[in-house]
Chains A and B, each alone.
Chain A
Amino acid sequence: DAGVTQSPTHLIKTRGQQVTLRCSPKSGHDTVSWYQQALGQGPQFIFQYYEEEERQRGNFPDRFSGHQFPNYSSELNVNALLLGDSALYLCASSLSGWDEQYFGPGTRLTVT
């Protein structure tokens, strides 16, 4: 049973560019959450997708957007990248409701 997978593993972008990160949830899970983890910090909730819709959003600007596909996989898009967007981006999947979340290995984004 494959766990949560994310791609790519590492990414280097320039300020002002746009980036797309991808996540495949654990088999049987229908909810995907995205977190940003800056260096030396705990993960911060970005948003959550369920049934292809954004169900909840944390305190992140509109430059951060996402999508969920019918197979429950998800993308995180960040436009107009800033140096401060450099972080580890974690995807977590769960069943609908309040079930525990399983995390992927993350995508390390570096903005130069």
Chain B
Amino acid sequence: AQSVTQPDIHITVSEGASLELRCNYSYGATPYLFWYVQSPGQGLQLLLKYFSGDTLVQGIKGFEAEFKRSQSSFNLRKPSVHWSDAAEYFCAVLLYGGATNKLIFGTGTLLAVQP
């Protein structure tokens, strides 16, 4: 069955430190992958997406993610975290084909940023 796993429920980093959030997926076809960010009480904002091509994708707010097919992973990274990055981050895979077009989300990683 298709699924997305985010192994880290909660991560705390210091402001200015680097960040890596892990995401593993299970999907038989070529995956279309996304990272979304959600601030408290808010909807989801798209950070970046991978459809094809270069496996290192750049997103908004200085985030990037690398698609590794051999590891079924799509980890999110940022070289220097800002206090405003504190939020919940969701990885998702798009199931598609025929009449299918739906996102499967992971359970999220809650990021806290220490001053």
Residue among B36, B45, B96, B104 making CB contact with A98, cutoff 8 Å: B96
Q: How far is the CA of A92 from the CA of B41 in the complex (A)?
A: 16
Contacts of B41 in A (CB 8 A): 108
- Is residue B68 within 8 Å, beta carbon to beta carbon, of the partner chain? no
Residue among A33, A35, A103 making CB contact with B45, cutoff 8 Å: A103
Residue among B32, B90, B101 making CB contact with A48, cutoff 8 Å: B101
Q: How far is the CA of A45 from the CA of B92 in the complex (A)?
A: 12
Contacts of A101 in B (CB 8 A): 103
Pairwise interchain contact B46-A102, C-beta atoms closer than 8 A: yes
Pairwise interchain contact A104-B104, C-beta atoms closer than 8 A: no
Can you list, as one digit per residue, whether each of A69-112 has a CB less than 8 Å from chain B (1) or not (0)?
00000000000000000000010101001111111111010000
Specify which of B32, B43, B94, B106 lies most central, judged by the most chain A CB atoms within 10 Å of its CB.
B43
Pairwise interchain contact B44-A43, C-beta atoms closer than 8 A: yes
- Report B72 CB to chain A, min CB distance, Å: 18
Q: Residues of A with Cβ closer than 8 Å to B?
A: 4, 31, 33, 35, 40-45, 48, 55-56, 58, 90, 92, 94, 97-106, 108
**Could you list 6 examples of A-B contacts with CB < 8 Å?**
A33-B102, A40-B108, A43-B90, A94-B101, A101-B103, A106-B42
Counting from the closest, the 7 A-B pairs by CB-CB distance are A42-B105, A98-B96, A103-B44, A105-B43, A103-B43, A45-B102, A106-B43
